[in-house]
Amino acid sequence: MYLVSLLLSTILVAVPLAAQAAARPLSPIKLHHTSWTAKDGAPPSIIAIAQTPDRWLWLASSNGVYRFDGVRFERFQPPGEQKPGNDIWGMRVLGNGALWIGYRSGGASLWQQGRLRNFGAADGFPVASVVDFEQDWRGRVWASTSQGLRMFDGSRWTAPQMQSTGQCMLLADPAKTVWARCESGTFVLPKGAEAFAPSSDGLGFGRMAMSGDGTVWAMGGQPGELAALSGPGRAKPAPPWPRAREAGGTMLFERDGLHGWATRADGVLRFGPGEQATVFGAVHGLSGSLPNAVFQDAEGNVWVGTENGLDRFRPAALQGVALPQIRWDTPAIAAGENGALWVGGTQVRTPGYEAFAALPAEDPASAVSAIHRHGADVWTGGLDGLWHYRDGKRQAIPLPDYVTTRQFNAIMRDSEGALWTAIRGAGLLRWKDGAWQRGGGIRELERRPDSMLADSHGRLWFGYTDNTLSVLEGGKVSVYGAEQGMRIGAVLQIAESAKGIWLSGLNGLYHFDGRQFVQVLGQGDDPMLGVSGMVDDGDALWLNGAAGITVVSKAELERALGTPGYRVNFRRLDHKDGLRGVATNSFPVPSAVAGTDGKLWFATTAGLFWLDRKAGADNRLAPPVYIRSANVDGADIPLAAQGVSQLPSNPGRVQIDFTSLSFTMPERMQFQYQLEGVDRGWQQGGALRTATYTDLGPGNYTFRVRAANNDGVWSERDAVAAFHVEPAFYQTAWFRELCAVAVALGLWGLYKLRVAQIARQVEGRVEARLQERERIARDLHDTLLQTVQALLLQMQCAWHKLPPGEPVRRDIERSLDLAQAALEEGRDKVQGLRAPQGGDLLTEVSRALKAEHPDVELELRASGELHPLAPAVYDELRAIALEALRNAVRHAGASQIIFEVCYAAEALSLTVRDNGRGLPVEVQQVGRAEGHWGLVGMRERAQRLGAQLIVDSVVGVGTILTVQVPGQRAYLAV
């Protein structure tokens, strides 16, 4: 920008300039303008605009009726069999909120409470073009047709007895008098009257409009015609308002009571305070050349319908004028006393359009680039030197000879009354008592800064283009830069805060508290680049930068300074708010100042803009919210406001469309939505008017949405739609139950197969075991037993040969007895191996124990019906019982043992009780005695049976061992 300024300076010096135009408004109408045409979906030839109580904006065109929500145009096709016609000729919303539509080819439609009703010849309606509607004091509806007036009493249309013929324009005044301007004259229906009567006004066919004081004005019948039909204006001369065009022209009086609109053949114009009543036409951006309708909505926006589309005019937050730029990127500005504003070297005492338009063209040789005000004193620095203004007097301050280029970057006055100036080519100069000093006599300050500030503590701050900051305090200079965390680039402005200093520049916004630099970023990591103007109004910080005018509240700034990484919420004013151009990124600075009357002033490359914080132009009207429809996999399905809508089964993608009716700035509206059962809380939808969900399961859902308008006012109630997703056959309860039954049956079948498999494995192992037992029995019988038998025979022969009194004979006799017993026991074992019957467990175990310990006192008990045991179970239980009984005899020293077997259907119980010494404590804790494995073996055998083994032992009292085997495992199947 410096190179641009230098190049421009050279050109201006070398080439004489023509006289410059004075300041001018940026638009013929001082409102923000937006237009919609066919490329945006707007219908052509809009001849009427209306707004129903639900806030929808209705557009009547030759192509049918359309609804508009500020973003989308939709052709009106209500549900049901009756549909509106296409060739619209008239449309009006009456006092009861009903929307009436008239057709060029005859007939009318009524839209009220979500229901459309059509009227034709069968209802008494003539086949004639319908132009207008109105409601009288009795609630009857009057329709103007090309064949005269028709009256609707709530059930049927009739033709009144009157002298009017042809078309009429209708309007009811505050006194409930209905006026009709017809092709055959003017007629009036006063309150209390039953029929229209001719009026003596002598006006022909034309439109009417009512002003804020209740006066009904007739206009447009003849060129320049404007007459008051009723109200306070009737007794006064016609005001010098601009006149509407002949015949089809109309007027609109805004609700503020100050401004009005008139339609012309070449556009529209607005008259009233601050307006010049200049035509706004197609050359200024109007959608067409011929305005057909003008309307003001509930929020105060003014709408114009033309042959090509739709236009909106709304109040803008900013007002502005284009100033002739002679030298610099933007004008140098400073606040003056009593609301005045300094623009360059001129003080504008009452800033406004007229005052700015009266500004003299800037002299290229005296262009001002820096202004500083301190109380009643003002200093300006420009190409013609340094000037001091006070009490209306202008005095030059002589500059030193070494100042050759009079381009001022900044001017500042310190607490001692000295004046500091930053001049290109000369550096920083201090002037006091008529003397100039480079850098104020301090060598470190001799180079030229781009911004300066004298704070309330007497410190002087200097910002430079090389990302450095110097502070002069108590005669000492401190320098800060990248090493201290400042990465602002060129420092464009310095402003004081309650806790430090704000610095703005090319790379963003920083705060310095004397110890550290903190960069402030906005939501979305907005860096707030190129801010060359900062204003602290007490509640917020206003920043004029490359992206527009940014407003950040003090609360957000405090949070950002106290919370590392926090991103501030902010509001941004841009072209939608009336701003044009951008702030300078070099000089003159500052590009934003606060006026002493509360106005904020901003200079950009396009002109000068201001905002009156006292005007209170916020949009406080809460927007209504509507859910429009759901799109399920490409098919539109209406969502009813009442009841539960049905959605098809297994939807892949569900897109819910919604909208909110706020027309001032719909592009800045914010939406929040929530699908109960899916979303955990409110989802931030931003400005998007759709919500998308995928793979919704069957069931009931409730969708909620709410909206905030452009000024953050939220809707008073949420829009709610309930819908039900039908289950597919495989998602139904009966299908799930059927699947559960099938799975259960399958599992049962698998269980039975597994049981059978295990049974076969067990049977196979038992069979193999029996075969092995039989093999062992055969081997024992054919070998060992035969050998023992032969041995016995030999020993008997030897015994017989010995004399009867031989001592050895007795020993051999005892050996024979033992061998015979061993042979019998071996035969018994062989018999058991061959044919284990699982018989009486008590008898078998007791006999075996008695053979080993004939002196033991053993009590046998049996209960229940004796069942044959499975061979494997019999063997394992026999082994466990013998081990338990042997332990009682050998280790416990028991004198009394009880052996009990209980045959029950659910379980077989085997119990051994003794009165011995009991198991030692350490054996009970470990589960076995050192070097002995009897207890371990019993547990392993019980585990193989799937049985439960319980050992209950008390030292010195005795031991009880119990084994319980499930009946289905213990008993042999019969």
pLDDT of residue 62: 84
Quote the percentage of the chain above a pLDDT of 90.
59
- Give the integer Cα–Cα distance in Å for 283 and 281: 5
Q: What are phi and psi of 335, to 5 degrees?
A: -75, 135
Average pLDDT over residues 789-802: 75
**Is the pLDDT assigned to residue 294 strictly greater than 60?**
yes
Query: What pLDDT shows up at residue 11?
Result: 33
Can you state the angle between helices 786-801 and 807-834, rounded to 10 degrees? 160
Amino acid at site 436? W
**Which of 295-299, 818-822, 951-955, 970-974 has the largest mean confidence?**
295-299
Q: Which two tokens stand for residue 732?
A: 């139904």
Q: How far, in whole angstroms, is CA 639 from its chain's centroid?
A: 22
Task: Give the separation between CA 599 and CA 488, rounded to whole angstroms.
Answer: 29
pLDDT of 354 reads: 83
- The Cα 724–Cα 711 span in angstroms is 36
Please return the burial class of 956, using the count of CB atoms within 10 Å of its CB with bins 0-12, 13-18 and 19+: exposed
Given a contact cutoff of 8 angstroms between Cβ atoms, the answer to whether 671 and 689 are in contact is yes
Q: Is 691 within 8 Å of 656 (Cβ atoms)?
A: yes
What's residue 326's pLDDT? 63
Provide the pLDDT for residue 8.
35
Give yes or no for a contact between 871 and 845, defined as CB atoms under 8 angstroms apart: no
**Cα–chain-centroid distance for residue 349?**
48
797 vs 952 pLDDT, higher one: 952
* Rounded Cα distance, 301 and 662, in Å: 10
Pick from 401, 366, 402: nearest CA to 386: 366
Cα dihedral 37, 38, 44, 50 sign: negative
pLDDT at position 19: 35
Tens digits of per-residue pLDDT, 902-931?
A: 999 889 999 999 888 888 887 777 666 766
Choose among 710, 668, 663: nearest CA to 312.
663
Please state which of the ranges 115-119, 267-271, 301-305, 838-842 shows the lowest mean pLDDT: 838-842
The one-character DSSP state at 741 is: H
| 18 contacts 361 by C-beta, under 8 angstroms | no
Q: How confident is the model at residue 22 (pLDDT cuts 50, 70, 90)?
A: low
Whether residue 349 has pLDDT greater than 70? yes
Ramachandran assignment for 462, one of left (phi > 0), alpha (psi -120 to 50 degrees), beta (any other): beta
Instruction: Identify which of 210, 353, 348, 192 has the alpha carbon closest to the alpha carbon of residue 278.
Output: 353
DSSP-assigned letters across all residues of 219-241: ESSSTT-EEEEESGGGGSPPP-P
Q: Are 463 and 451 in contact (CB under 8 A)?
A: yes
What single DSSP character describes residue 680? S
The whole-number average pLDDT for the span 725-740 is 87
Cis peptide before 590 (omega within 30 of 0): yes
The pLDDT score that the predictor gives to residue 352 is: 87
Instruction: Give me the chain's average pLDDT, please.
Output: 88
Residue 804 phi/psi, 5° resolution? -60, -30
Q: What is the pLDDT of residue 770?
A: 65
Give the pLDDT of residue 830: 62
- Torsion sign, CA atoms 26, 28, 34, 36: negative
Angle at 712 between CA 706 and CA 718, to 5 degrees: 15
Q: How far is CA 80 from the centre of its chain?
A: 35
Sequence-distant (≥ 6) Cβ neighbours of residue 536 within 8 angstroms: 495, 497, 502, 542, 594
Q: Where are the beta strands (DSSP E) in 487-634?
A: 491-497, 500-505, 508-512, 517-522, 533-536, 540-545, 548-553, 567-568, 571-573, 592-594, 599-604, 607-612, 625-632
**What does the alpha-carbon distance between residue 434 and residue 423 come to, in Å, rounded to a whole number?**
18
Q: Is residue 674 predicted with pLDDT exceeding 70?
A: yes
**DSSP 8-state secondary structure symbol assigned to residue 780:** I
User: Could you read off the pLDDT of 356-378 as tens digits, one per residue?
Assistant: 888 887 788 889 999 999 999 99
Tokens of 59: 């557009």
CB 611 within 8 A of CB 318: yes
Lowest-pLDDT choice from 307-321, 499-513, 903-917: 903-917
pTM to 2 decimal places: 0.74
Contacts (Cβ under 8 Å, ≥6 apart) of 323? 23, 331, 343, 356, 359, 607, 608
**CB-based contacts of 402: which residues, under 8 Å, 6+ apart?**
426
Would you place residue 4 in the very low, low, confident or very high pLDDT band (cuts 50, 70, 90)?
A: very low
Strand 567-568, strand 517-522: pairing? parallel
CB atoms within 10 A of CB 969: 16
pLDDT at 547 over 90: yes
pLDDT at position 766, please?
61
- Supply the pLDDT for residue 94: 96
Task: Tell whether the model's pLDDT for residue 277 goes beyond 50.
Answer: yes
**Residue 831 binned pLDDT confidence (cut-offs 50, 70, 90):** low
59-73, 476-490, 639-653 — which is least confidently predicted?
639-653
CB 731 within 8 A of CB 697: yes
100, two tokens: 């009436």
- Cα distance between residue 721 and residue 729, in whole Å: 25
- Which among 112, 108, 81 is positioned nearest to 95, based on CA atoms? 112
Q: Omega into 527 within 30° of 0, i.e. cis?
A: no
Residues 6 or more apart in contact with residue 759 via CB below 8 angstroms = none
Q: What is the pLDDT of residue 864?
A: 87
Are 179 and 186 a contacting pair, CB within 8 Å? yes
Copy the structure tokens of residue 21. 């135009």
- The pLDDT score that the predictor gives to residue 842 is 85
pLDDT of residue 521: 97
Is 126 or 771 the better-scoring residue by pLDDT? 126
Q: Are 873 and 969 in contact (CB under 8 A)?
A: yes
- pLDDT one-digit tens code per residue, 115-154: 999 999 999 998 899 999 999 999 999 999 999 999 999 8
How wide is the angle at C-alpha 555 spanned by C-alphas 554 and 556, nearest 5°? 90
What tokens were used for 285? 């951006």
pLDDT at 211: 95
- Residue-level pLDDT at 560: 95
Q: So what's the pLDDT on residue 816?
A: 73
Average pLDDT of the residues in 732-752: 89
Which residues make Cβ contacts (< 8 Å) with residue 812, sequence separation at least 6?
Answer: 795, 798, 799, 802
The answer to whether residue 733 scores a pLDDT higher than 50 is yes
**Residues of 729-763 as b/e, b for ≥16 C-beta within 10 angstroms?**
eeeeeeeeeeeeeeeeeeeeeeeeeeeeeeeeeee
CA–CA distance, 973 with 731 (Å, rounded to integer): 46
Residue 430 has pLDDT above 60, yes or no: yes
Beta-ladder partners of 374 = 377
Residue 661 has a CB neighbour count (10 Å cut-off) of 27
For 228-254, write each residue's pLDDT tens digit: 999 999 989 889 899 888 877 899 999
* Closest to 852 (Cα-Cα) out of 882, 817, 880, 891: 882
How remote is the C-alpha of 69 from its chain's centroid?
Answer: 21
pLDDT for 797 beyond 90: no
Structure tokens at 255: 């609700």
Bridge partners, 555 (sequence order): none
Burial of 286 (C-beta count, 10 Å sphere; 0-12/13-18/19+): buried
Write 381-388 long-range contacts (CB < 8 A, 24+).
381/406, 381/408, 381/411, 381/421, 381/423, 382/344, 382/345, 382/406, 382/408, 383/327, 383/407, 386/411, 386/421, 387/345
| Phi, psi torsion values for 306, nearest 5 degrees | -125, -175
- Give the pLDDT confidence score for residue 893 in this predicted structure: 82
**Position 13 pLDDT exceeds 50:** no
Query: CA 595 from chain center: how many Å?
Result: 39
HSE, side-chain direction, 13 A CA sphere, residue 400? 17
899 or 732, which is more confident: 899
pLDDT single digits (tens) 188-222: 999 999 999 998 877 888 899 999 999 999 998 78
Residue 584 vs residues 110, 341, 531, 712: alpha-carbon distances, Å: 57, 19, 8, 30
